[in-house]
Every structure is written in C-alpha cells, then in structure tokens.
C-alpha cells in the first residue's frame, strides 16, 4: 500500500474536494436551480459582443413605424380607419418593395374593410399575422391549442401568406428567443419572420422540411432550435438606444415624404413602435424593443446566418469540473496571493473565451462555471484554513512534548508573526542538565528493553516537571537530559523557574520507586547555570537542530557531572538571580573539567515562599502547595 506524504495527501484531499464541489455544481446546473440569474448572466454577452460582425444585411429590412409622430398627426391608433393602411399599401406598391409584412392583427371588422382588402390583393406581396394560444408539451415542444386569432377572411384571401406573430418571453420577461414553427395537430405553422424570409427569397415552400436533431433546414441555412423549436435571436446593433434598422414614420410614408428608393426590393415591416401602444418587450441588450423590431431582428439573424446556439450541457458540465479542478490546484499549490490571482486569471480567460465563442455563434454558460470557481475558492480556502489549524494543533501537541504548551503556543505565534529570530543570536539563558548516577552498574543487570523502559520512566518525570515550569527540553544524551529557559522566546524569571523545576524533579524522582513496584532506584544529579550563550539553528541546510552553545552551557554540563545524586547545584550566574528566593548552601569552590578557574557552587535545598502574589504573577509561577 502506497503511503502518501502529508503534503501530497493534503493536495490529493484538496483536489478531491474541488472535484466534488464541481460535481455538486453540475447537479445545480442540471436542475437549473438558479434559472433567472442564469439567463440574465448570459445577457452580458449580448451587451459586449462586436455588433459589426452581425451588420451584414445591406439594409434589406425597412421598418415603417407607427410612432409618436404618426399618432400626433393621425390621432389615436384605435380610431384609425383602414383606409390609412390601404393608402399606405398604394404608396409602397409604387416603391418596388418586394415583401410587405404587417405586424398588426386585423381580426375585427370595420366599415372600410373592402377597400383595404382590395389593396392587399392588388399588392400581391402582403404578409399578415395571426396569433394562437401556445402551450409546451411534455417533451418541451410548442403546440397550438387550436384556438387562434386570425385576420378577417376577406384579408386572408388576398394575402400572400400568413405567419404567427407570438412572442415568447422567458420567465424574467425578456425575449431572447422566438418560436419559428409550432405544431398544430399534424401540421406545422411558420412564424411571421420565417414566412417573410421565405417569400422574400421566393422559396416555393415556407417550411421545407421538418426539424431534425434541433436543427431546421431552410433556404440553404441550418437554423439551430431548442426543444420548443425556438430560435435564439442574435440582436444586431448592440445595446445602443436607437434602432439598428432603417426606420421611417408611418405618417411620412402616407404623405409621400420619404424617398421611394429606400423601399426598392426590401422587406418592409409595418408595426407599432410608440411606447404607449404597449407592443414593447425587454431584450437581453438591456433595453426594450417593439414587437416589429423583434421580428426584424429575427429576420436579420436568419438572413445573415449569424445564428446562436447554447453550448451542449456536457460541455458546460466539463467546464465546471475542469475549472473547479484548476482553481483547486492553484489554491493548493500556490501561495495565497498567487492562488487568488490565478483564480481571477482563470475567470478572465473563461470570460474572454466565452466572448470569442459568442462572436462565432456559441453561447458558453457565464453563470455556473464561474459560480463553481467561486464555490471551489470558498471550499478550498476553508479546507486550507482547517488543515492549517489541524497541522498547527498537531505541531503544538508534538512540540508540547519538548516544551510547555504555553511556550509552544508562543513560539508558533512568533513564527506566524515573523518575530521569532532564528539562525543564531546571543542571549542570557538558564541551562539545566540532569545526569543519572551509577547508570552503568544498573544497565549491566538488565536487558536492553528493560533498561530503556526504566530510563524512560525517570526521564518522563524530568520532562514533565521541566514543561510544568516553562522549560524547553533540548537534548537527550542517553542517561542525561538538557533543558533550557529563556530561548527561543523570552521567559521572565527563567533562573528561578529552572531551579524550581529542579527541586520538584528531585522530589518526584525520590517518590517514583515507592509508587512503582520493582522499579530500581536511579538518582540524578542536576546542575544549573545561567549565562550568555548562542541560541539558534545548528547544523547544515539539510539537517538543522535548534540548540544553545557556549561556555555557560559547558559549565552547566560539567556542573551536573559533578553533582551527587539527588542534589541540585547551581552556578554563580544562577545564584545571583535567585538568592532571595531559595534556601541554598555555598560549597567549596569547584574546579570543573575544561575550566581554568575554580567557580563558586551552591547547593539549593528548597524554595522560599514567594514574597507576594504580584511576584508570582511576574514570574508566571505558582509552585505546588504554595500560595
């Protein structure tokens, strides 16, 4: 079984989390839980797309607008006689317009219908709209319920063709698509825009074939459709507030105030653009359009062949998982700032790719993949924070086996804040050495496992007491142990702390054989010294060890070697700092190995009561059994 290192395991677990987050967002996408926001996010593509790519119709479409100017001069639209429309057709017939399309539903009879019907028949190129009730089937296809509002029979008989003029706004009220065909029993009905193009191109049939695999073959074009036979409208002109199409006022055409040349061989759409007439719809461009402009945009999309289609669901899901994986990889492998910048860059690259694809007719999802990256960023960040806390807790626990928990926390906090100085510095430290007596004789009577077990019991007592008084266990030397105070972090009262630890250690070591049956008695001599030493990382770039070196350390080691079992001896540097707080006896000046001069040594037998709680607070010490 392959065992991964902690770093690789963390990377592996993080990537698994990123993929799980990606799969979760795939489910969110599949069930379209944020349908409205999803639709609106993709509208950003329409507003930033290059409109010049779409401008390729050579002004084949002219809109005759029933605008505010026409209403002001001709009165309320509901009161217009149909003779106005008959006169309009007569004017347009002179201009050579190839197809005339009304976006007005003539379903109610009036007194002057005969004249208008005659004009329609004489023109021979008029296309009229009808409206029908639409409903989606279980398969998502649009079907007509049979009831339709059609133009009067007298008008329908003279018209070149008919097409349904229904608009199908999405749930948020924005028109992004328009149904091109609807199924009515066993037949298909064409949309007004599709009918207009078929007659403009002089096609013998409007619907030349049935849709297949969500595509409709028409006039040498392959039109992408959705399951409801809707075509996405590729709005030309961008989000500009003015209409992209050449637009003239109805009243100007009626009064022959427009050059007839602009209608020559064009598709002429007649419809309401005045806001008060209520035939306006919101578009993904961020502005409203009249119904006649929507039909014009649909015609333009088909004529230019600048079709839009949404990317397949599989592509979107793959994008979600891939971006979540890459985002997770960046956050796990790079530093925090670089990870954030990489995530931002990934998002920008995806958006730029989406803009490029949109200009070539494919709509990449702008909501769920970036949302998946945001979710991955949050998830991996939480994972990193949690992992770092767990690792820090583990380090603190492990470190706490060598130093007290309070010192371990202080050291790790100092590392986090950058205030821990490593690499070697001089500072005043207190060093304690504890050395076993007659250990060689005891070891000859035991096998190795028994010897290690016995030694560890005694060393555990020394370690426990050292940590209790905020010391750091620095080294083990077989049957000896070294502890240090006041490094790597400052420890106030380090000399008295070390001395108290030594006194408590000797007491605990004397009691240990009485508590554990058959445990051989081992005595330790403890030597303590305070002085200047160099503390820092020792070794090489491949193997480092934090330690202290210097004459003060050597003196403590020699002092421990000379101290009888069960005793605590301190050097002059330590005694100068603790003489008011201990009961000590001066010994004969001692000549230590490696030292030219003799030094004054003191045997400490007990700790006096601290003079006040304030002193105990300063020293950060409350000895057991003392107030």
Of 53-67, 105-119, 317-331, 397-411, the poorest mean pLDDT is in: 397-411
Mean pLDDT of the chain: 87
The encoded tokens of residue 324 equal: 């979540």
pLDDT tens, residue by residue, 435-467: 999 887 778 888 888 888 899 999 999 999 998
Alpha-carbon Rg for the chain in angstroms: 46
Position 616 pLDDT exceeds 50: no
Q: What is the mean pLDDT of residues 589-609?
A: 88
Position 422 pLDDT exceeds 60: no
Q: Which of 134, 44, 81, 14 is nearest to 366 (CA)?
A: 44
pLDDT tens, residue by residue, 288-314: 999 999 999 999 999 999 999 999 999
Q: CB neighbours (10 Å) of residue 549?
A: 13
Residue 213 DSSP class = T
* Position with higher pLDDT, 180 vs 48: 180
pLDDT at 186: 74
Position 618 pLDDT exceeds 60: no
pLDDT at 262: 94
Residue/partner pairs of 243-246 with CB below 8 Å, 24 or more apart: 243/63, 243/273, 243/289, 243/293, 244/51, 244/55, 244/297, 244/300, 245/59, 245/61, 245/62, 245/63, 245/293, 245/296, 245/300, 246/59, 246/61, 246/62, 246/63
The encoded tokens of residue 483 equal: 């502890």
pLDDT at 612: 41
Position 150 pLDDT exceeds 80: yes
pLDDT band at 238 (very low <50, low <70, confident <90, very high): confident
Highest mean pLDDT among 278-282, 526-530, 543-547: 526-530
Of 237-246, 269-278, 598-607, 609-618, the poorest mean pLDDT is in: 609-618
What lies within 8 Å, CB to CB, of 550 at 6+ separation is 531, 532, 533, 534
The single residue listed with the structure tokens 């409903």 is: 135
DSSP letters along 91-102, please? HHHHHT-SEEEE
Percent of the chain with pLDDT over 90: 64
pLDDT tens, residue by residue, 52-70: 444 444 579 999 999 999 9
The rounded distance, in Å, linking the Cα atoms of 62 and 497 is 96
Percent of the chain with pLDDT over 70: 87
Displacement of CA 618 from its chain's centroid (Å): 48
pTM above 0.75? Answer: no
CA-based diameter of the chain, in Å?
139
């Amino acid at each position: 079984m392959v065992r991964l290192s902690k770093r690789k395991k963390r990377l592996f677990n993080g990537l698994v989390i990123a993929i799980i987050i990606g799969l979760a967002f795939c489910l969110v996408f599949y069930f379209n839980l944020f349908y409205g926001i999803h639709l609106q996010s993709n509208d950003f593509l329409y507003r930033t797309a290059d409109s010049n790519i779409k401008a390729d119709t050579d002004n084949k479409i002219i809109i005759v607008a029933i605008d505010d100017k026409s209403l002001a001069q001709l009165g309320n639209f509901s009161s217009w006689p149909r003779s106005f429309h008959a006169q309009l057709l007569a004017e347009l017939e002179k201009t050579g317009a190839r197809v005339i399309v009304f976006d007005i539903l003539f379903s109610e009879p009036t007194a002057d219908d005969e004249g208008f019907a005659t004009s329609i028949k004489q023109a021979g190129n008029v296309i009229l709209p009808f409206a029908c009730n639409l409903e989606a089937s279980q398969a998502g296809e649009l079907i007509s319920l049979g009831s339709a509002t059609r133009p009067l029979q007298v008008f329908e008989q003279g018209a070149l063709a008919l097409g349904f003029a229904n608009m199908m706004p999405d749930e948020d009220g924005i028109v992004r698509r328009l149904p091109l065909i609807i199924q009515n029993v066993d037949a298909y009905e064409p949309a007004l825009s599709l009918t207009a193009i078929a007659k403009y191109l002089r096609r013998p049939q409007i619907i030349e074939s049935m849709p297949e695999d969500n595509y409709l073959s028409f006039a040498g074009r392959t039109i992408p459709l959705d399951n409801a036979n809707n075509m996405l409208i590729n709005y030309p002109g961008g989000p500009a507030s003015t209409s992209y199409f050449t637009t003239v006022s109805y009243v100007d055409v009626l009064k022959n105030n427009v050059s007839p040349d602009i209608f020559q061989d064009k598709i002429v759409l007649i419809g309401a653009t005045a806001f008060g007439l209520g035939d306006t719809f919101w578009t993904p461009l961020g502005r409203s359009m009249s119904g006649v402009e929507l039909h014009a945009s649909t015609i333009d999309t088909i004529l230019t062949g600048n079709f839009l289609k949404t990317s397949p669901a599989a592509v979107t899901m793959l994008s979600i998982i891939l971006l979540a994986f890459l985002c997770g990889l960046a956050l796990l492998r790079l530093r925090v700032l670089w990870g954030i910048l990489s995530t931002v860059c990934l998002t920008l690259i995806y958006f730029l790719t989406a803009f490029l694809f949109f200009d070539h007719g494919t709509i990449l999802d702008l909501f769920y993949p970036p949302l998946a990256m945001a979710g991955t960023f949050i998830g991996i960040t939480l994972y990193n924070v949690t992992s770092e806390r767990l690792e820090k807790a583990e380090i603190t626990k492990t470190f706490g086996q060598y130093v007290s928990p309070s010192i371990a926390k202080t050291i790790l906090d100092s590392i986090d804040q950058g205030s821990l100085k490593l690499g070697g510095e001089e500072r005043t430290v207190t060093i304690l050495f504890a050395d076993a007596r007659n250990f060689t004789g005891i070891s000859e009577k035991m096998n190795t496992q028994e010897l290690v077990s016995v030694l560890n019991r005694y060393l555990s007592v020394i370690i426990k007491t050292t940590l209790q008084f905020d010391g750091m266990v620095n080294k083990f030397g077989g049957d000896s142990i070294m502890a240090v105070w006041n490094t790597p972090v400052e420890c106030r009262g380090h000399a008295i702390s070390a001395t108290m630890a030594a006194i408590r250690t000797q007491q605990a070591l004397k009691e240990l054989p009485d508590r554990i049956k058959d445990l051989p008695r081992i005595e330790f001599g403890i030597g303590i010294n305070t002085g200047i030493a160099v503390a820092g990382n020792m070794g090489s770039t491949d193997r480092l060890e934090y330690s202290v070196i210097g004459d003060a350390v050597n003196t403590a080691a020699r002092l421990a070697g000379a101290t009888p079992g069960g005793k605590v001896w301190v050097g002059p540097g330590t005694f100068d700092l603790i003489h008011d707080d201990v009961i000590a006896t001066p010994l004969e000046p001692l000549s230590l190995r490696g030292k030219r001069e003799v030094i004054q040594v003191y045997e400490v037998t007990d700790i006096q009561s601290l003079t006040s709680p304030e002193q105990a607070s300063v020293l950060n010490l409350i000895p057991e059994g003392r107030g």
